[in-house]
Structure 1
């Protein structure tokens, strides 16, 4: 759990202050992570996957925080958290 929580905090610290021009070319990758986290939460809770609404790019940090908090609150098993942490770190390196 700690690795995922730390990874998401690092990512949010990296992107939360970005203005609209900085999101160009990066928003779709970030949204894909939001959707991946939502899918992981759905899997842990045995619910069907549903699309996360694609809001304005400036909302992406908030969506990341909500999906991360949901995954932690769902008491996801360590392998799921490790998968999520890996996805977060891959995105951080690609931004």
Structure 2
């Protein structure tokens, strides 16, 4: 898995959600019991965790911002951070799978 493929998966998800307003973010994700915003924030946290693992550093909590409309930007930032670490292909693949799985249930 390459950085280009991860970037593509992130871009597809961002295109899907970037125009959403708050009621759509607050809606329950398909087949689940959490909001779409909670699901995307969980994805952001997972990618941040992969980035910390790639750097050999400690995992840190990604802040949950007051405005859910910032979630696409948070996702782009943590994905770019992961790519910048020169993460091994297996971590990039895991991140891309997580992004795609999240996109599928939104």
Normalised by the size of structure 1, how large is the TM-score?
A: 0.97
CA RMSD of aligned residues (A): 0.7
Aligned residues: 95
> Given the alignment, which residue of 4, 29, 44 partners 1:2?
4
Match of 2:58 among 40, 48, 70: 48
Match of residue 66, structure 1, among 54, 64, 77: 77
Which one has more relative contact order, counting CA pairs under 8 Å at least 6 apart? 1
Structure 1: gaps (5+ residues): none
Partner of 1:38: 48
Q: Whose Rg is larger?
A: 2
- Alpha-carbon deviation of 1:2? 2.1
Deviation of 1:3 after TM superposition, in Å, equals 1.6
- Structure 1 ranges of 4+ moved more than 4 A: none
